[in-house]
Copies of this chain bind each other. A is one copy, B any other.
Amino acid sequence: MPWEKSFDLDDAVDCAIEVFWAKGFEATSMADLVDRMGIHKGSLYNAFGSKKELFKRALLKYDQDNRQTTLATLEGVDDAVAAISKLFDAVIAQSTDGSREKGCLLVNTALEHPNHDLDVREIVDTALGDFEAFFKRRIKRGQLRGVIPKSINANQTAKSLLALVVGLRVLSRGSFGASQLRAIKNGALRLLTEAVEPTPKS
């Protein structure tokens, strides 16, 4: 099979992403990968070393193609609230398109977290940490511009927004459709507004 010698690494990793995303790391066999990637087992080992190494490559590429691309697009949105709103729109769109059933490979892996090696955990933690940093940076910028109240704790709110994104991704795999996911987005936007303590009836 002479074409094999020059198989496209990027395409091969894309195929591996599909398999890992649909089945999870544990349940994916080398036979599944060989089958979907259309290359010989020997070529796979030569090119990627092992199932775990291939998984890391797949996870890094998935992260680059999805999270990094989404966050980069939002760099051009000046208004902080609009940028955070658009991020949730993007996550909802990703959660309700054809790949909905599969969820998010990063979140799926985060749940498998303790079962993974340190280097896989680092990829996941970096991706989630970048989301959190995005939120924190945008809240602070919004506070400087006066569109987000200064009373809000940027550090804490960024963590809540990250939890909402992650929770949204998990619930989208279950019974939550687009309108329910938008309710979660509304909660995220409310966290960017002033918190007023209620006055209990005496």
Binding site for B on A (CB under 8 A): 23-24, 26-27, 81, 101-103, 107-108, 110-115, 121, 124-125, 128-129, 145-149, 153, 155-157, 159-168, 170-171, 173-176, 180, 183-184, 186-188, 190-201
Contact = CB atoms under 8 A, between A and B. Distances in A.
Contacts of A175: 125, 128-129
Contact of A183 (B124, B125, B159, B168): B159
Nearest to A79: B200
A24 B171 CA distance: 18
Each complex incorporates copies of this chain amounting to: 2
Say whether chain A's binding surface is mostly helix, strand, loop, or mixed. Answer: helix
Given A167-B167, A180-B159, A173 B101 contact: no
Nearest to A175: B125
Contacts of A187: 156-157, 159-161, 163-164, 191
